Amino acid sequence: MRFSMKSLHSPTYLFILDDDCILEIAFLLDSSESAKDYNHEQQKRFVLQTVDRMKSLQLSSGRTLRWRMALLQYSSTVFIEQTFHDWKGPEAFKSHIAPITHIGHGTYTTYAITNLTQLYMSEGTVGSVKVAVLFTDGVDHPRNPDIFAAAADAKHQGIVFFTMGMTRVAEEVSNAAKLRLLASVPASRFVFNLQEKGTVEKVLKEMCPQVDTCNCEKGERGLPGPAVSSCHSNN
């Protein structure tokens, strides 16, 4: 058994206990009133397409990429639709997620983030690459608790954040600024919009370099370089 060590956008060090890379992805779907009908279905479609693309990816280094997913829906409450412990493979995940329905009510994104952090702390694998894809237009209920404190705590736990706007509302000045602050840095690599073309491919292109955590011997992370994919498709 060999130990590797590397930091991932935080001072925290991650320990890899074997020769495999473990990637854990959690999706946070906006299921509030503003995301009803088409937007909710579009979020689910993004998730299902990501699952299909993940099935054909492998590490360029030749090492094994092991991965699993979880999914939460949020509005005024949070529903954990699939935990990491529930994972039984991509097809079972898709069959469970496809029929989930819209919740409605107000938007409390902070609760989704705090539930996500708790999920990773209780079920996350030691040394895994932890990724969250947060769907939001940046508009929350006025009584939503401090979202930036919740996001900072999650990032301190080693979670990498992608923020995914659902509509062009997310591109309004104040909302766009919020999505950039919630995302990992640099924001130019971690903020997207569902209305863009090829969002699944764009996210995977940025997600793959995070797997470099698995390919480092003991030592500290240097300055970030250009985004270079560490995994490729078999298709």
Q: Residue 213's pLDDT is what?
A: 56
Nearest to 48 by CA among 144, 114, 133: 133
For residues 43 and 194, the answer to whether their CB atoms sit within 8 Å is: yes
pLDDT tens string 58-84? 777 767 788 999 999 999 999 999 999
Structural domains of the chain, with CATH? 23-217 (3.40.50.410)
Q: How confident is the model at residue 56 (pLDDT cuts 50, 70, 90)?
A: confident
Which stretch of 46-50, 53-57, 80-84 has the lowest confidence by average pLDDT? 53-57
CB neighbour list of residue 211: distance below 8 Å, 6 or more residues apart: 21, 23, 59, 65, 129, 230, 231
pLDDT tens string 113-144? 999 999 999 999 998 999 999 999 999 999 99
pLDDT at 2 over 50: no
Where does residue 62 fall: left (phi above 0), alpha (psi -120 to 50 degrees), or beta otherwise? left
Query: Cα–Cα distance between 125 and 230 in angstroms, integer?
Result: 21
Query: Cα–Cα distance between 224 and 188 in angstroms, integer?
Result: 13
For residues 169 and 135, the answer to whether their CB atoms sit within 8 Å is: no
Q: How confident is the model at residue 234 (pLDDT cuts 50, 70, 90)?
A: low
Please tell me the pTM assigned to this model: 0.83
For the residues 175-197, what does the mean pLDDT come to? Answer: 97
Q: How confident is the model at residue 212 (pLDDT cuts 50, 70, 90)?
A: low
